Amino acid sequence: MENEKKKIALSLIQPSGTITLGNYLGAIRNWVTMQEEFNCIFALADLHTITVRQEPAKMRKNILDAYASILACGIDVEKSLFFIQSHVSSHAELAWLLNCYTQFGELSRMTQFKDKSAKHADNINAGLFTYPSLMAADILLYQADCVPVGADQLQHLELTRDIANRFNGLYGNVFKVPEAYIPKNGARVMSLQDPTRKMSKSDENANGCVHLLDPPEVIMKKFKRAITDSEACVRYAEGKDGINNLMDIYGAVTGLTHEQIEKDFEGKGYGDFKVAVGEAVVETLRPIKAEYEKLIADKAYLEECYRKSDDIAQKISQRTLTKAKKKIGFVL
Ligand code: TRP
Q: Answer for the pair 226, 242: CB distance below 8 angstroms, yes or no.
A: yes
pLDDT at res. 204: 83
For the Cβ of 48 lying below 6 angstroms from any atom of ligand 1, the answer is yes
Residue 49 CA, ligand 1 centroid: distance in Å: 10
Active site residue 201: yes
**Mean pLDDT over all residues of the chain?**
96
Residue nearest to ligand 1 atom 13, measured at CA: 11
201, 308, 323, 327: the catalytic one is 201
Give the other-Cβ count within 10 Å of 108's Cβ: 10
Q: Which of 12, 36, 32 is nearest to 24 (CA)?
A: 32
Residues 113, 115, 118, 123: is their CA dihedral positive or negative?
negative
Distance from Cα 135 to the centre of ligand 1, integer Å = 6
Taking only the tens place, the pLDDT of each residue in 25-45 is 999 999 999 999 999 999 999
User: Residue 107 phi/psi, 5° resolution?
Assistant: -65, -35
Over residues 234-282, the pLDDT tens digits come to 999 999 999 999 999 999 999 999 999 999 999 999 999 999 999 999 9
Mean pLDDT of 54-58: 97
Instruction: Indicate whether residue 20 lines ligand 1 (CB < 6 A).
Output: no
8 A C-beta contact, residue 291 and residue 76: no
Sheet of 8-13, strands arranged across = 81-84, 39-44, 8-13, 146-148, 179-181
- How many angstroms separate the CA atoms of 326 and 324, rounded? 5
Atom 14 in ligand 1: which residue has the minimum CA distance? 11
For residues 297-305, average pLDDT: 98
Residues 6+ apart with CB under 8 A from 163: 98, 101, 102, 133, 136, 140
49 lines ligand 1 (CB under 6 A): no
The CB of 46 under 6 Å from ligand 1? The reply is no
CB distance 16 to ligand 1 below 6 Å: no
Cα(7)–Cα(143) distance, integer angstroms = 10
**DSSP 8-state class, residue 7:** P
> What percent of the chain stands above pLDDT 70?
98
Say what the alpha-carbon torsion angle 228, 234, 237, 241 is, to the nearest 10 degrees. Answer: 20
CA-CA distance, 107 to 87, in Å (whole number)? Answer: 26
Confidence label for 1 from pLDDT (cuts 50, 70 and 90) = low
DSSP 8-state symbol, 203: -
Question: Does the CB atom of residue 138 touch ligand 1 within 6 A?
Answer: yes
Mutate to test the pocket of ligand 1, among 98, 128, 138 (most ligand atoms within 8 A of CB): 138
Measure the CA–CA gap between 10 and 299, rounded to whole angstroms: 25
> For the ranges 12-21, 140-149, 182-191, which has the lowest average pLDDT?
182-191
Pick the closest to residue 65 from 207, 212, 217, 204 (CA basis): 212
Task: Judge whether 196 and 190 are in contact, CB under 8 Å.
Answer: yes
Give, for ligand 1, the residue of 153, 158, 188 to mutate: max count of ligand atoms closer than 8 Å to Cβ. 153
Q: What is the pLDDT of residue 183?
A: 79
Provide the whole-model pTM.
0.95
Q: Examine the residue annotation and report whether 116 is marked as an active-site residue of this protein.
A: yes
Please report the pLDDT score of residue 2 as a whole number.
52
Q: What is the pLDDT of residue 184?
A: 73
Please, what is the end-to-end C-alpha distance for the chain in angstroms?
29
Choosing from 198, 222, 240, 274, the catalytic residue is 198
